[in-house]
Amino acid sequence: MAITAEDLKRLYRYIPGGGDAVLEGHSVSLKKPEGGWRVTLSDPRTRSLGLLTFPLASVAIEAWGYRKDEFDRFVERVLLVFRKGGG
């Protein structure tokens, strides 16, 4: 996923429940009694293709208290929030 820590800081509010989430370094989490989630970036690096340079990071998405279909929709929304270049 082409995402940077700055992207996470700027866009996490658009993840479902993100308005109540807590940003801590390269991680953002939402903890509620009925369930929650955490999105964490690690190993930030860049990849070059000719003159183009792309940010790259490993992204871990954890969730608890969700059914599989709810988690799948949550992941789709996360991917949509951080999509670049119009898809």
63: in domain: yes
Q: Report if residue 18 sits inside a domain.
A: yes
Look at residue 87 and tell me if it is in a domain: no
| Average pLDDT along the chain, 87 residues, taken 10 residues at a time | 82 91 94 91 89 87 93 92 67
Total domains, the chain: 1
Residue 86 counted as domain residue: no
- Alpha carbon distance 54, 30 (integer Å): 28
Is residue 56 in a domain?
yes
pLDDT at 2: 66
| Residue-range definition of the domain harbouring residue 13 | 5-81
Predicted pLDDT of residue 40: 95
pTM of the model: 0.82
Residues in contact with 45: Cβ distance below 8 Å, sequence separation at least 6, in sequence order: 55, 56, 57
